[in-house]
Structure 1
Amino acid sequence: MWSVVLLVVFFVIMTGIGLWGMFRTKTLGDFFLGGRTLGPWLSAIAYGTSYFSAVLFIGFAGKQGWLFGLNALWIALGNCLVGALGAWLVLGRRTRIMTQNLDTMTMPEFLQERYGARHLKPLAAAIIFFFLLPYSASVFKGLGHLFEAVFQIPYETALLLMIGFTGVYLVLGGYFAIAMTDLIQGILMFGGALAMVWVVYQRAGGFVAGIEKVGRLYQEHVPASQQPSVITVLSLVFMTSFGPWALPQMVQKFYAIKDGSQIRRAATVSTVFSAVIGFSAYLVGIAAHLYFNPETLPRLAKGGINFDSIVPTLLVQVLPELLLAIILLLVLSASMSTLSSLVLVSSSSVAIDLYPGRLDATTGKDRSVAMMRFLSAIFIIISYFISRYQFEFIVTLMSLSWGAVAGSFIAPYIYGLFWKGGTKVAAYSAMLSGLLTEIGLFFMLGPAQSPLAASGAMLVPLIVFPIVSLVSKKPENTIIEEAFKGV
């Protein structure tokens, strides 16, 4: 009962915010970046809620918590210190200044203007559009599993509900609505995550005793031959912590903050938020060892462990109804905020980066806002069909798309912010080498080693870029002077 009541209230509020955002949205800059007027709190919470989704709470926490045991907490630490704090302090100020200098709103636009490469923008836009689709679908799928477990409703029905309500507030309100809903969702996530950990470990005899027991039971539940190697753990930490440095939906938050002076405050807020959410998710994941053994774990039809169902099953068994309803909103909030950022960035790859013109020459009106709304709706629908009919494992989906996008952009984006000697040819080479490395390693090593494939896809272009820059034509001075003005 509580789940239904809170869910209805939540959706009504989200719809109202979408309508409010619609009236504030007048231009493409408003729809995509909130007019670059957002303060540090809104920007930081938007970053955090986009970082963590149902993929973490349902897929990653369940799988890594069981297979990694206490080592899964290293992932949370890396996400907090590198993925949040490091990203804001290293990239935030320069990204805000340089994107304004070059008058760019998207990653493809920035790369094109920074390197003076006319064909770089459509290439980057195509990578974003095609590889963020499976990531978006993975968010849908994780959320569908939770709804299925809590409400006992068909998975397909849960997906349709998510499409409807995410579409309403995103398509209507754009970035204004996303930022405001992210703030509300962030508060729910923060409080719900702490309460979830407290209850799960209190039922197991207390936090300290529970952690000690996890350490012992992990050795019994997971044979030494199946425990992850140091390389596997480090690759997963690297992928999930440095990957966000080059993901367009995360970098967008740097573009939208009001000015560079607010970066440090945003970094502090984002770090605290990421620490609470990240550690809470993995602490619940490793608590599976307190409530299950290899014989009682949720299983797939073919007999394998159903990692996507571990956390939902645990929460349904342990939490009281009211808290379970709040946790449902927590995961729903995480998923909807991530999904809205993915949809916004992916639809922009067509509406902004591939659309031939932003203004209607006959009326002077900004037609791209209508195009963005239309494409956002189409992207949500496509994501539904992918999550419904094609892919099977949430973590596999996320790992492939995450590695492909991060590997494509990490070198040209980061070098572009700090090194004046980076060249156009190097940007093309790094982007293609990252993409091809991810695809090649993913299929060579297999889905089980997808973090290693993603890590390789990010490391290879970081080596390729400076080598190619040293032997290729230097960038024009006018581009460098404009881009680096004021940094």
Structure 2
Amino acid sequence: MNLFLLGSIVLIFVVINAFLAFLGYRGTRNASDYLLAGRKAHPVIMALSYGATFISTAAIIGFGGAAAVYGMGILWLTFLNIFVGIFIAFVIFGKRTRKIGHNMDVHTFPEFIGKRFQSKFLHISSALLIFIAMPLYAGSVIIGGTQFITETLGINYDIALMFFVSIVSVYVIMGGLKGVMYADAFQGVVMFLGMFILLIFTYSQFGGVTEAHSSLSGLKERAVDIFGSSGHTGWTSMPRIGSVFWWQLVSTITIGVGIGVLAQPQLIVRFMTVKSNRELNRAVLVGGVFILMMVGVSFIVGALSNAYFEREVGKVSIEAVQNRTDNIIPMFINMAMPPWFTAIFMVTLLAAAMTTLCSQFHAMGSAFGRDFVELGLGIKTKSSVLTTKVAMIITILASTFLAWGLPQFFEQGSAIVAIGTAIFFGLCAATFLPLYVGALFSKRITKTGAKACFISGLLTSSFWITFIHIRESQPLGLCNALFGVDSLASSPWLQNVDPIVVALPVSTIFTIVFSLLSKPPNDRHLKEVFNGVK
């Protein structure tokens, strides 16, 4: 690795981001600017910011590594990311979110649902959930970037962690959402180019697309030998229906992340940054193409890495990295790509992580500073922006601590990045999605129904994570400490059913039932909320 080349590229990248953060700082004059970019974001900037926030090192490193284990079947997640995460999110959810948010003059997701259902409980509780739970997702993103820096430079993990977090922290605290979105758009372009080059170089390693996929198909027997009775049928086909691998791929990875994206607070707030529905329509194409390149390439490269490692070292990916799934993509890049591209890809990963982390830190900071302290508890501060910045610093420290501790907490071979991401996406879907849908599309969903949704989704998810879903219950250890087993479920397939598969239907049913049993919302309030909504 040419450290001078790497240092030069990273320095240029950081300087550009610092300049964009300064532009955001200079253009931030009030809370609306800091929290919603003044509600005047350009559709292309909004789309790139949304996509870059959506795609992080969790997708490239974590889920790229997962693709090396599960194979091309993970591309179903790409389909859901585009169809649900872009088309449905922008066209169906985004337009109503923008208009209703404008009618209520809200700036954050907790404030949105709090005012929509006229509930301080929902406002405060959702803010606390975001503040407490999102560091797990942020920590997973940090791990992905840190792992690549460690693998590439051969430096200590802790040193790489401090270096990585320091770069991200400076400009997100300074620039607010304007600075974040400016940087997101720039970093989105860097990410797109980096992944495009990676796709071309990967196929060139095999002599073309057909040859690459043929090589991977020829490893079917190796997959069956390595994974035994888990249901793996090769890296170019889906696992056997009903098997352990099938449940993990379908319920945790595909459904958990593919559906959970609709209820991501840091993404929902992007819809309120544009001034009209026209901007959202124009953003769909840009967002769709961006997501296709980001997740599609990382999943394809992850799966094809098996054929590369088998050819070069006589081992498939999971064997080559000694079961450390999150190291597969970094190792592939360092072995298969030219040195100059390794430097480019490091910047790509920095961009992927920074865009997501900045939005996460921004969402967590505003949830605690504005929603919990100021609006929830009614504590007036001298500066709303300053309070949010202080809260951001707290969440940065919490996320960094998790990024340091999680690799030691989970057993060797656990896909920590993918697991952390899936947990948070599933938790958001179970607690927020039914009430969010009700807030946008139904005048009959009541405050009581929304509370029932939040509580039932949170409790069911927490129980399933702690006592049933073995990927989390085993490392947590509480189930074993209380009952002497890693999971209360007796059958292997039930142990691998993701919490979202159970918790989301439960919270949906509770939302509907408790709404029907409670008094309908105030007509005057509903008229104000849905004024002009089509």
* TM tier, smaller: over 0.9
Q: Do the aligned partners of residues 394 and 232 (structure 1) sit closer, same or farther apart at CA in structure 2, a change above 3 Å counting?
A: closer
1:16 correspondence with 2:40 = no
Q: Take 1:287 and 1:464, find their aligned partners in 2: how far apart are those partners?
A: 44
Residue type matched to 1:322 in 2?
Answer: W
Report what 1:427 is aligned to.
450
1-side partners of 2:291 and 2:210: how far apart?
A: 22
**2:342 counterpart residue number:** 324
TM-aligned CA deviation for residue 20 of structure 1: 2.0
Q: Does 1:480 align with 2:526?
A: yes
Alignment partner for residue 308 of structure 2, among 291, 294, 312?
A: 291
For 1:450 and 1:16, the matched residues in 2 are separated by 46
Q: CA deviation at 1:178?
A: 0.8
Verify the 8 A CA contact 2:247 2:496 in the aligned structure 1: no
Q: Taking structure 1 as reference, are residues 323 and 343 closer, same or farther at Cα in structure 2, changes over 3 Å only?
A: same
Could you say which residue in structure 2 is the equivalent of 1:464? Answer: 510
State the secondary structure of the residue aligned to 2:498: helix
CA contact 1:15–1:165 (8 Å) conserved in 2 = no
Report the Cα offset of residue 304 of structure 1. Answer: 5.8
- 2:109 corresponds to which letter in structure 1? M
Q: 1:376 aligns with which of 392, 395, 411?
A: 392
Please give the residue correspondences for 1:209-224 in structure 2 after superposition, counting only pairs within 5 Å: 209-222=211-224, 223=227
Kept in 1: contact 2:439–2:445 (CA 8 A): yes
**More displaced, 13-22 or 98-107?**
13-22
Q: Which residue of 1 aligns with 2:357?
A: 339
Change (3 A) 1:342 1:95: same
Unaligned ranges ≥5, structure 1: none
**Number of the residue aligned with 1:115:** 117
Distance 1:451 1:182 in 2: 35
Partner amino acid, structure 2, of 1:52: I
TM-score, normalised relative to structure 2: 0.86
Tell me: CA distance 1:450–1:126, structure 2 relative to 1, closer, same or farther (3 Å): farther
CA contact (8 A) 1:315 1:324 kept: yes
User: 2-side partners of 1:471 and 1:296: how far apart?
Assistant: 56
Structure 1 residues 97 and 450 mapped into 2: Cα distance closer, same or farther (>3 Å)? farther
- Contact kept? 1:442, 1:450, Cα under 8 Å: no
Q: Compared with structure 1, are the counterparts of its residues 406 and 370 closer, same or farther at alpha carbon in structure 2 (3 Å cutoff)?
A: same
Tell me the distance in 2 between the aligned counterparts of 1:241 and 1:60. 12
Q: Which residue of 2 aligns with 1:157?
A: 159
Answer whether contact 2:257 2:426 (CA < 8 A) is retained. Answer: no
Say which SS state the counterpart of residue 519 (structure 2) adopts. coil
For 2:93 and 2:43, locate their aligned partners in 1 and report how far apart those are by CA, in whole Å: 15
> Structure 1 residues 457 and 361, CA, compared in 2 at 3 Å: closer, same or farther?
closer
Q: 1:66-94, CA deviations, whole angstroms, 9 ceiling, x for partnerless residues?
A: 22212111111221121122211110110
CA contact (8 A) 1:163 1:381 kept: no
Find the counterpart in structure 2 of residue 253 from structure 1: 270
| Alignment of structure 1 residues 59-78 onto 2, 5 Å | 59-63=62-66, 65-78=67-80
Check conservation: 2:48, 2:185, Cα contact below 8 A: yes
Distance 2:309 2:508 in 1: 42
Which residue matches 2:469?
A: 445
- Whether 1:454 and 2:500 are equivalent positions in the alignment is yes
Could you say if the C-alpha distance between residues 146 and 47 of structure 1 is closer, same or farther in structure 2, counting changes exceeding 3 Å?
same
Aligned-partner Cα distance in 1 for 2:515–2:374: 30
**In structure 1, distance between residues paired with 2:435 and 2:26:** 37
Give, in whole Å, the separation in 1 of the partners of 2:529 and 2:192: 38
Map Cα deviations across residues 285-327 of structure 1 (whole Å, 9 max, x no partner): 1012112248464669xx9610010110011001111212111
| Length, aligned pairs only | 481
Distance 1:263 1:157, change over 3 A: same
Q: Residues 82 and 192 (structure 1 numbering): CA distance in 2 closer, same or farther, change over 3 Å? A: same
Q: Does 1:403 align with 2:449?
A: no
Question: What stretches of structure 2 of length at least 5 have no aligned partner?
Answer: 233-238, 411-415, 473-494
Question: How far has the Cα of 1:243 moved from its partner?
Answer: 0.7
- Aligned mates of 2:69, 2:463 — CA distance in 1: 25
Amino acid at match of 2:63: F
Deviation, structure 1 residue 407 = 1.5
Please list every run of at least 4 consecutive aligned residues from structure 1 whose deviation after the TM superposition is greater than 6 angstroms.
448-451
Q: Which residue of 2 aligns with 1:30?
A: 33
Q: 2:186, 2:465 → 1: CA distance?
A: 37
Contact 1:134 1:386 in 2 (8 A): yes
Of 203, 206, 211, 1:204 maps to 206
CA contact (8 A) 1:70 1:215 kept: no
Per-residue deviation, residues 317-375 of structure 1 (Å, max 9, x unmatched): 011112121111111111110000100001111111112369x999xx96111111222
Q: Percent identity?
A: 27
Matches of 1:35 and 1:474 in 2, distance apart?
34
Asked if structure 2 preserves the Cα contact closer than 8 Å seen for 1:425 and 1:468, the reply is: yes
TM-score for both structures, normalised by structure 1? 0.94
Asked if 2 retains the 8 angstrom alpha-carbon contact of 1:399 and 1:451, the reply is: no
Checking the alignment, whether the CA contact within 8 Å between 1:61 and 1:282 is kept in structure 2 is: yes
Give the letter aligned to residue 32 of structure 2.
G
Report the Cα offset of residue 386 of structure 1.
1.5
Q: 1:220 to 1:343 in 2, by over 3 A?
A: same
